[in-house]
Amino acid sequence: MSANQDTDTAVETVPVALSESYDTWAANALGSSTGNPAPDAHRRRRKAGVAMLALAAILGIAWRWWVYTHTWAVTDNAYLAGHILTISPRIAGTVSEVLVDDNQDVAAGAVLARLDAADLNVQRDKAKAEIAQAEAQLARARAQVVRDEAGAGKAEADFDRADRLFHKSSGVISQADFDAARTTLESARGALDASRADALAAGAQVQVAAAQLADVSLQLDYTDIVAPASGRVGRKNIEPGNRVLPGQALMALVTPEIWVIANFKETQLARLHPGQTVKLTVDGLPGEEFTGRVETFAPASGAQFALLPPDNATGNFTKVVQRVPVKIVFTENTPGTFAGRMVPGMSVIAKVRLRD
């Protein structure tokens, strides 16, 4: 068969296909017009039913949402908080020994690190020697007081005799002898006062030396850097040989006690009060739910505690809903159950039950 014959056959096929499609459409239309029920009414009923179901679902969701918002006050702007103690030395020195590692549990009073105490031991020995010297001076001063008291007593007795002999015995002794006895008495009294003053000074010197020894002993105690409470060590930045200064942060100590700080919107505070039950979920512990209660409210909004509080007395003021920190405490032994897994800084979702 030639190419022209193939073309003619294809051209003849197109009208035939169109004719069959038309016949099929006409048959369907004729069947509909002769009594077969149209699907439009069924579709309309079906759409109406779907719309009613959708409306019922929307109303149900809206009702549940209204009940939920009036039963719970929720915020995800919350986190775990705890006592984080900064460990620092009280004296300057060189670190001789570090006894803990990061993330290690320690008990209250445990030695965390030690400073070199060689210089302080020398100062303690020197203070002890100064105490011994001061006590010796005090002993000599007291002995001198005893001697001067005896001399003053003898001079006073001599003066009394001279006074009787001069005034009552018609001048048995001369005026010069009487004046000499009085001068001797005054000199003896002056020497006694001086020796007593020296004894007081020597006693004060003993006290000063004792205070110096106590100060050195206290500084020796400070060479042991101890844990002020039980907890876990973190952020350790101390090594043997480091030179440290008073107040320098050496490590942190996180105590086991934890609570939640939830920053609620100021518009939510009207329905919050201490004692309300709180449902808590921690992002780091999926599937776990904890119970707590509202304890206290912060005395100011979080913005007021910022390093640079906002100044609203400006021309471009924009009102922003403020958040107020609320402290929530656990009502169960949560830290004991999840020791080491719930730590300060972890994100929390807090839901406060407003009513039953």
- Looking at the structure, tell me whether residues 205 and 264 fall in a common domain: no
Residue 244 lies in a domain: no
Residue 331 lies in a domain: yes
- Looking at the structure, tell me whether residues 129 and 210 fall in a common domain: yes
**Per-residue pLDDT at 176:** 86
Structural tokens at position 28: 């369907």
- Looking at the structure, tell me whether residues 218 and 257 fall in a common domain: no
What lies within 8 Å, CB to CB, of 171 at 6+ separation is none
**Average confidence (pLDDT) over 37-46:** 73
Q: Cα–Cα distance between 60 and 338 in angstroms, integer?
A: 38
Residue 6 lies in a domain: no
The CATH number covering residue 326 comes to 2.40.30.170
Q: What angle do CA 211, 224, 235 make, to 5 degrees?
A: 135
Lowest mean pLDDT among 160-164, 212-216, 223-227, 252-256: 160-164
Contact between residue 113 and residue 98 where contact means Cβ atoms under 8 Å apart: yes
- Looking at the structure, tell me whether residues 140 and 213 fall in a common domain: yes
Rounded to the nearest 10°, the torsion over CA 328, 283, 73, 68 is -140
Q: Cα–Cα distance between 102 and 89 in angstroms, integer?
A: 18
- Looking at the structure, tell me whether residues 74 and 151 fall in a common domain: no
- Looking at the structure, tell me whether residues 80 and 166 fall in a common domain: no
Residue 79 lies in a domain: yes
- Tally of domains in the chain: 2
pLDDT tens profile 43-54: 888 888 888 888
- Residue showing tokens 């922003």: 320
Residue 190 lies in a domain: yes
pTM of the model: 0.68
- DSSP-based three-state secondary structure for 205: helix
Residue 341 lies in a domain: yes
Last residue of a domain, one of 173, 203, 222: 222
More confident residue, 97 or 32: 97
pLDDT tens profile 197-210: 999 999 999 999 99
Nearest to 75 by CA among 326, 356, 335: 326
- Looking at the structure, tell me whether residues 81 and 136 fall in a common domain: no
- Domain range spanning residue 258? 70-86+252-353
